[in-house]
Amino acid sequence: MSAAQIPSLVVENLTTRFGSDRDGATVVDGVSFVLTPGQTMALVGESGSGKSATALSLMRLIEPPGRIIAGRVLLDGRDLLTMPERGMEDVRGGQIGMVFQDPLTSLNPALTIGRQITETILAHRDITPAEAERQAIDLLVRVGVSDAARRIHDYPHHFSGGMRQRVLIASAISCAPAIIIADEPTTALDVTVQAKILRLLHDLQQEMHASMLLITHDLGVVAAMADTVMVMYAGRIVEQTDVDTLFHAPRHPYTKALLACVAGIEDDRSVPLQPISGMAPDLKDLPRGCRFAPRCPLVQDVCRTTDPALRAVSRSHSVACLLVQEETAVV
């Protein structure tokens, strides 16, 4: 197995629940995937589908009443879910860097930008504060912050939204992590700034040969950035494949519905938008059978009684749908 094929992160049956066993909701339900070096995997779905909860679970940042109730998260063979908190402190920022979706609330308004980046560096590297500050300035230059030696002493409110996101990216990559988790990194930004931030993330990832888990609801971002895609609905992965297959040969009705919601697919502006009927289910009161059945245009009686498992329909394509048959024998 070549170095490029060695998994950076192996996630098995990750399950996270909020509330009690009787009255709570399972927000991440049996999620499994493998992320390899240099790969960008997108996790896509509607708001409330469990995407951000998945990211926070991987980092063990779920706060009560949430709790991880099952699964393994293996980083180079070590299970992060059983690791002592001191070990996780070394992993966060050191081996896994996270870019949050709202830089204004993710950055401490009472601390300078430089202080926040240098604290991350000093937590993971045995260097002097002066050297950490020099590295922080270099990082700000690297992510496109002009006059970095002066601006390192500014506070978050002195920066625009796009610049604050660049600061978060600088902090996330400050210790050259093997994995970057980007949770809706351009949600709060205008379209022109979004494109610049995405290009920056892509270039930095390629430069570091890092893996990236990109969480988004924007299929345009998926098309531009991802190698592989997981589609999430009501806490579960319902389709998983490479990005070309997802856009050109989707199999799950929910994935097809998401694509139909996007204007100008294949540059055909004559195709009208087709919104998904109904609402996503309440995770505290899930329907019997397939979770998408109440909204699915292809629903059959069996869908309302049988809960489909995610299964391979080809060598690189898995779908959780009772109506989808295997394309070829899976070997």
For the chain, the structural domain boundaries read 3-226, 252-331
For the stretch 126-136, pLDDT in tens is: 999 999 999 99
Q: Any residues with CB less than 8 A from the CB of 142 and at least 6 apart, and which? A: 170, 204
pLDDT, average across residues 194-198: 90
pLDDT, average across residues 138-160: 96
Residue 140 has pLDDT above 70, yes or no: yes
Q: Mean pLDDT over all residues of the chain?
A: 91
Can you spell out the DSSP letters for 213-232?
EEEES-HHHHHHH-SEEEEE
Percent of the chain with pLDDT over 90: 81
Pairing relationship of beta strands 40-44 and 211-216 according to DSSP bridges: parallel
Look at the alpha carbons of 282, 285, 287, 288 in this order and tell me if their dihedral is positive or negative. positive
Helix (H, G, I), strand (E, B) or coil at 317: strand
For the stretch 157-169, pLDDT in tens is: 999 999 999 999 9
pLDDT, average across residues 73-95: 95
Residue 1 has pLDDT above 50, yes or no: no
For the stretch 279-308, pLDDT in tens is: 999 999 999 999 999 999 999 999 999 999
Residue 237 has pLDDT above 60, yes or no: yes
For the stretch 198-212, pLDDT in tens is: 999 999 999 999 999
For the stretch 252-288, pLDDT in tens is: 999 999 998 875 445 555 556 677 889 999 999 999 9
Residue 90 has pLDDT above 60, yes or no: yes
Query: Do residues 2 and 12 lie in contact, with contact meaning Cβ atoms separated by under 8 Å?
Result: no
As a CATH number, domain 3-226 is 3.40.50.300
Query: Do residues 259 and 266 lie in contact, with contact meaning Cβ atoms separated by under 8 Å?
Result: no
Q: 53-62, 85-94, 222-231, 265-274: which has the minimum mean pLDDT? A: 265-274
What confidence score (pLDDT) does residue 270 get?
57
* Peptide bond connecting 65 to the previous residue in cis, omega within 30 degrees of 0: yes
